[in-house]
Amino acid sequence: MLELVEQDAQAFFPLSQAYAIPKEDPTRDEILEAATKEACKAPVEMMKQITCAIELLEEMGEKGSKMLVSDVGCGALLCRAAIEAASLNVFVNTKTLADKSYAQELEAECDELLTEYVPRAEACAASVMARIRG
């Protein structure tokens, strides 16, 4: 995840530079489109890695030590926030893409991950809360 955070930060610089290109420049749209597509890659990969973390937390909740139960719940809540935050970083960019087909495919991929894994993270956290609070 730390590598992906770094990749995300590195992808932002070319995107910010592309926005600085004068609108009259005939290469601006092409450069901006390429930089925007590149800026989507790290957050999409983050979302995929977060789904792996949610799956591991579910397993830890079932098989792990009772001493870690609150850590599992905290992890699930943080993963829910992280996957939603990463999706925002995709959606802000897909909104501006001229290649609407590419944007729709990327958004559909993100929506699929959100639809499956946000409820799983919530259920994992709720299970932990029920175990702790009774």
CA-to-CA distance for 121 and 116, rounded, in angstroms? Answer: 9
Q: Which domains does the chain have, with CATH numbers?
A: 39-133 (1.20.120.680)
pLDDT per residue over 102-111, tens digit each?
A: 999 999 999 9
Question: What was the pLDDT predicted at 134?
Answer: 85
Q: How far apart are the first and last CA of the chain?
A: 34
* Count of alpha carbons within 13 angstroms of residue 1, beta-carbon side: 12
Whole-structure pTM value = 0.92
Report d(CA 109, CA 115) in Å as an integer: 10
| Token reading at 22 | 């004068």
User: What's the rounded Cα separation, in Å, for the pair 28 and 77?
Assistant: 40
